[in-house]
Chain A
Amino acid sequence: MMSSKQMKLSQVNEWDVIKQSTVYKLKVYNHIFYSLFIYQLIGFLFVINSTSGTGMSMGSLIINLEYKTAHALFYITLIWLIISSAQLGLKQSRSLMSGVVTNNKTHCFSNGLLILLMSVIGAVTIVLLSMTAELFLYLFNTPYSTDFSINYFLELLSAFLYLLLAGNLAYFITNLVMRLKLIAYLFLFILFISSLIPEISPITYFYYFLFKEMNIFLFIIKISLLIVLLFIGSLAITRQMEVER
């Protein structure tokens, strides 16, 4: 009788838990993807109404050139991603998972997966929405010009990588502030002081390191390296975190 009731300890597969945690968080944090929709709608408004213009005149002839760009869309999506990624790094996020099967490693990995998913969706919606904005503007404006030679795949890749970097950076910094407050403040202080002198400012180096990189393959390698380093950093920080509910 006893043997049929005997309970056995269950073995667990880390990867299964990571997948399960990611799906769980997608359901619990569904407001993240709902807010993307709202943010981008606002971004769309910005894009079609923002104007910078120049004028040319030639005798009695006046040419008004109106410039519109899709940059606002990217920046708004970037803000969305940063806020959402930071939310994942908060203590509440970890304590939420204490109700189910988890440990710090699976929690961090599933957050990384979430940030990856957000970056993919963010990049895809940016590119698609910028094209839709183009259609919208085209239907209401003639004459019209755009960059017809644009490589959309490159666009997608570049946006995705920048978003992923920003997301991991936000997650890393949030973890740093949560756990190693002193180091975080020290880091920010040093950054602030050094940025007053552009020559030695790390921000300037970062700018030239990434934003001025012209070779695509080098760029991919550089940014991927940064992303991986940041993620490993986050993993290391959260390793020994206690759970506070």
Chain B
Amino acid sequence: MNEIKVDHVTKKYGKKVVLNDLNITLNYPSITGLIGRNGSGKTTLLNMLIGYKKPSSGVIKVFGENPFDSLFVSTNTLFVDDRMQIPNTLNLNEILIEMGRFYPNWDEQLASKLFNYFDLPPNSLHQNLSKGKKSIFNMIVGLSAYAYFTVFDEPMTGMDEAVRKDMYRALLKNYLEKPRIMIISSHHLKEVEYLLENLILLDEGSIVFDGDIEAFRNYAVGLTGKVGKLEKWAETKDLLYHERVAIDDAYVVIKNNVSQAELDLYSQKQSPVETRDLLIYLTNKRRGVIDDVFKTDEIESSK
């Protein structure tokens, strides 16, 4: 019973459905990315997994227990984000000591080393730190606690490039040291991609993709070809994106569930789709592209 299960979970705020019939399983050990646009429901899902909020319907089981108000889950869980509750009456050093008292797997040495490496002032108060340094401190707590289930929600906010690089590396090493169930939620898919084993893509409260990272990378294929031939055929498939690149040429992205022969037939060139772009295409399906906003103006002016 060492896994996390989300079973037909829905969350409503009044009439607004924020999460719609989610089904997720997270096994031990795994490092999963939770990706989605703003307002997709990521934070709500995470809040429920940690046990801060209750689902409107459905069942969540963390280590076999309902995480809401569970002391057992609380001991084995840590949620790292920019709203992490760090008291302002203790200095950073004292906070680390207190955290060490609560979390059973706390590694004092690691915390101390990371603290010194990132040059944090031990006698300072958390509220007096810059945004970047706050995030660094929160990450140090997250890494040193070695909580069985650790969640990072936008953990690198405010950090500069060099520090981010170091932090990702530290996170990976930390995970490899003691593999556990980790969720990383981030907008910077490109940066975090290489860490992930699995990916969950959430859009407007529903799961668009749930699988391993390789499958995501191979989820779609980008095709370039002649407008008439390619576009007509592509429209009969799972079309994710299309664009006119020249007068006669089109670039389309379709789901990679078509045989190689067909791909060769209808397209001149095939290319893999970058995860960053795939993310946009998968979540833009219903919204269209920014160019559409300007399209009608062109037609109007040409009349």
Contact = CB atoms under 8 A, between A and B. Distances in A.
B85 A96 contact: yes
A102 B89 contact: no
Contacts of A97: 85
Contacts of B179: 5, 7
Nearest to B47: A243
B71 interface: yes
Contacts, number: 92
A27 B63 contact: no
B71 A14 contact: yes
A10 B105 contact: yes
B73 to A, nearest CB: 9
A105 B105 contact: no
Nearest to B138: A99
A7 B180 contact: yes
A150 interface: no
Given A10-B105, A100-B99, A101-B102, A5 B71 contact: no
Contacts of A105: 69, 71
Nearest to A97: B85
Contacts of B28: 7
B85 A99 contact: yes
A28 interface: yes
A100 B85 CA distance: 8
Q: Looking at chain B, what size class is its interface with the partner chain?
A: 35 or more
A245 B83 contact: yes
A100 B86 CA distance: 9
A52 interface: no
Contacts of A209: none
A103 interface: yes
Chain B at the A interface: SS class: loop
Contact of B52 (A27, A239, A240, A245): A245
Interface in A52-111: 95-106
B75 A101 contact: yes
B38 to A, nearest CB: 18
Given A5-B178, A7-B178, A100-B99, A17 B63 contact: no
Nearest to B141: A99
B208 interface: no
A243 to B, nearest CB: 4
Contacts of B52: 98, 242-245
Contacts of A240: 54, 69
Contact of A27 (B76, B89, B180): B89
A31 interface: yes
B104 interface: yes
A215 interface: no
A193 interface: no
B203 to A, nearest CB: 25
B53 interface: yes
Interface string B186-204: 0000000000000000000
A187 interface: no
A9 B102 contact: no
A145 interface: no
Contacts of B243: none
Contacts of B71: 12, 14, 17, 101-103, 105-106
A11 interface: yes
Given A10-B105, A17-B71, 16 more contacts: A7-B178, A9-B76, A11-B75, A12-B74, A12-B75, A17-B75, A24-B98, A27-B94, A28-B90, A99-B84, A99-B87, A101-B71, A103-B51, A103-B74, A239-B69, A245-B52
7 contacts: A5-B177, A5-B178, A12-B75, A17-B75, A96-B85, A99-B86, A243-B53
Interface of B: 2, 28-29, 47, 51-54, 63, 69-72, 74-76, 79, 83-87, 89-90, 94, 98-99, 101-105, 146, 148, 177-180
Q: Which 4 A-B pairs have the closest CB atoms?
A: A99-B85, A243-B52, A10-B104, A12-B75
